[in-house]
Amino acid sequence: MNVEADMTIVLGVIAGAHGVSGRLRVKPFTGEPEAIGDYGPVMVRGVSREIKVTGAGKGLVTIELEGIKGRDAAEALKGAELTVTRADLGEVQPDDEGWFHADLVGLAVEAPDGKVLGTVSGVFDFGAGDILEITPHGGGADVMMAFTEENVPSVDVAGGKLVADPPVGTFETEEEKAKPKRRKRRRSPKARARENARAQGDESSNG
């Protein structure tokens, strides 16, 4: 895989302040939430800052950033990305897939026929395997999909996309889900018997 060493990788996004001391709540994009602090200083709006993880829960981590003191300073960073370069993540081990979870965030999600389904907005592990959070191309709420070989047969980080074959209904809008499904009409035993008798009669006449 040919991935530029200086490629910017988003490790997480600041969701807001935590308390009054300057700590921040962050939505992480790393496989293990606390791993967001494992790659050294992070870039935040063009400034390199040391990072320390102080807690985790409900899909968010709590961090301290160098130089950020007080609630106002923390709230001012709401929506800012925490980034590193691809080189900062180190080398992928030969027995790994060839990419980090953070590499997947921002990739286009395409169906096998090339139709664009959405964009990867997060990768999580809640204890039962990796989960992709995908923002649908047509708008609407983000969807969660198990990151399995069956659901995602191909990942092309260098090409900026992954191919997904999601379970039926994964990308249905709320409006589509609310539509009544057409049910196959069930025939009664008598109706089936009449049809079988007609079919047998046709075969006899043809014989």
Q: Domain range spanning residue 114?
A: 101-178
CA-wise closest residue to 106 among 5, 4, 12: 12
pLDDT digits (tens, 9 = 90+) for 56-97: 888 899 999 999 999 999 999 999 999 988 777 666 544 456
| 184: in domain | no
- Check pLDDT > 60 for residue 34: yes
| 134: in domain | yes
For 133-170, letters b (16+ CB in 10 Å) and e give: bbbbeeeeeebebebeeebbeebebeeebbbbebeeeb
- Which of 37, 55, 88 terminates a domain? The answer is 88
* CATH code (residue 154): 2.30.30.240
**Which residues touch 45 (CB under 8 Å, ≥6 apart)?**
77, 80
Q: Could you tell me how many residues make up the chain?
A: 207
Paired strand residues for 60: 57
The secondary structure of 40-59 as a DSSP string is S-EEETTEEE-EEEEEEETT
Q: Looking at the structure, do residues 63 and 27 belong to the same domain, yes or no? A: yes
Considering only residues 41 and 170, tell me which one the structure prediction assigns the higher pLDDT: 41
Considering only residues 39 and 150, tell me which one the structure prediction assigns the higher pLDDT: 150
pTM (predicted TM-score): 0.55
Q: If 0-12 CB within 10 Å is exposed, 13-18 middle and 19+ buried, where does residue 54 land?
A: middle
Beta strands at 130-136 and 143-146: parallel, antiparallel or unpaired: antiparallel
Q: Looking at the structure, do residues 30 and 81 belong to the same domain, yes or no? A: yes
| 120: in domain | yes
